[in-house]
Structure 1
């Protein structure tokens, strides 16, 4: 392991302050940031994704943001290929890859590898969507738990996108998604990892940050951003981009499904559910260093001395 080049994972739930810590680390250490966020890949989706602004990107450039239009799809397999290519390039220049984000599936894909999954079937996906509209996603989650108990146990009934994909795979092939994941784990990551997770002990503090950040997004023009996206691109509610937390709730508000106050409450609740899923992923990950973020100055800078000391001891 000591002969392998180093790489850092900086993980944590949404609104835990990962970006602020990453930018500070980039000012102090020879690292380059690779975004591990399934929403930051979309162009023109800035406010609702909490995308780093121009000043922050100038101070600490991020790889793997603004890659595709909101009409396109970005997969875990493509992320792994893109991230590995960047890691090789960064290492060749004598620097350390710093992979930062909250898309735990991407971290898992990068660390454990992927296997070849069947291509998406548009007709089957439409059929599953229609079933969900008629029966509800909890019923489809129950069906998944029967056909693929491992995936059913791993996914929450609200994780509609992954429930849909897992059902699609098992209906197409007769083989559960969990079998494919196990088959792909032979592709280990050829790096000496320092995996760090920013895990707040007080969930109430995190929930407060989530609510304040969502309110700030609304104040910064999130509703207008979604309106502009609908005018610029040929979008629909089923696209992965419009199923991102916040965008989905604003889309439904613009469709007249509920009022602004309910949209706000639904957006905050959905973000809290996302954070809960991310924390569940982190609890299941082995050999990670858990650090408590400090929210005193709203940037989690209290974690930096611990991270820097750990880097100094393990990556030198």
Structure 2
């Protein structure tokens, strides 16, 4: 491995593409590698099965340590920077593994710094959204100001964030991004390797299979426990995890087991489609492999040797 003091390796790709298996194998080969999580869903200690957290003994930073935490790109960049500095100080090499495209994109290109929002404002708006529903919520807080509602996200968590910024600053989040400064984690070099299966049907088969394995390994019990834990369940970000809402509906006897499985698998497949769109349209100059074993061989031969 070249002697670069502040080197970063990144292994990314859509869900179920085999990233974790490659990271596990690499961590067994090189004791200098320290794996850092880049998955916005794998931060909840209560949901290791549903979010497919690694179980091969890898040392992770920023993984499975939060309960009522609301993830954001800014918080991940801040914590990732601290992880990298610690790893470099110990003469290690960080291997950042995860499929949250915005995390990887921000690591490569930087992130616009936005002002911090008061927690009380976000909490109040979350309750208003629950009471009014999406259309009533946007009309009350945005429509009366004469703003285009299409400027605000349809996703409930992001909708609260967008409206909070608008009320707090008087500007949409797009306007704030255009006006803000850019923060970039300092490093000497970065190698980004992506595993993107060429056969989408094969990827979907793996997604369906993995969710069934999660159900058989305790995912339903995990969701039931979270629902009983008010501190976690009130966290809107937790409920956006693929499969969570569907399992919750099943536990309330609103849908059958078979319907829950089918809806969850479809939700995860839709998420994979969005990931693939990101990797296809937003990432350039990275090394792409269709098979995880090819990515592993390349990293061992070209980067770690």
Q: 1-side partners of 2:232 and 2:4: how far apart?
A: 48
Give 1:5 shift.
Answer: 1.9
Mapped pair 1:214 → 2:211: yes
Mapped pair 1:162 → 2:154: no
5+ long unaligned stretches in structure 1 = 294-299
2:302 counterpart residue number: 310
2:157 is paired with a residue whose SS is helix
- Residue from 234, 239, 248 that aligns with 2:236: 239
> Residue by residue, what CA displacement relative to the aligned partner does 1:188-211 show, whole Å, maximum 9, x if unpaired?
231211111111111111101000
2:45 counterpart residue number: 43
8 A Cα contact 1:113 1:184, kept in partner: no
Give 1:135 shift.
Answer: 6.3
Q: 2-side partners of 1:171 and 1:269: how far apart?
A: 35
- Residue from 26, 30, 33 that aligns with 1:31: 33
**Given the two structures, how large is their TM-score scaled by the length of structure 1?**
0.81
8 A Cα contact 1:113 1:187, kept in partner: yes
8 A Cα contact 1:125 1:168, kept in partner: no
Q: 2-side partners of 1:201 and 1:183: how far apart?
A: 39
- Residue from 167, 174, 180 that aligns with 1:178: 174
1:297 counterpart residue number: none
Number of aligned residue pairs: give it. 291
5+ long unaligned stretches in structure 2 = none
Q: 2-side partners of 1:233 and 1:125: how far apart?
A: 15
1:6 counterpart residue number: 7
Q: 1-side partners of 2:124 and 2:51: how far apart?
A: 30
Q: 1-side partners of 2:170 and 2:229: how far apart?
A: 40
> Residue by residue, what CA displacement relative to the aligned partner does 1:134-171 show, whole Å, maximum 9, x if unpaired?
6699xx9x9xxx7487x67xx7x5x4422442243234
8 A Cα contact 1:115 1:183, kept in partner: no
8 A Cα contact 1:9 1:98, kept in partner: yes
Q: 1-side partners of 2:230 and 2:133: how far apart?
A: 26
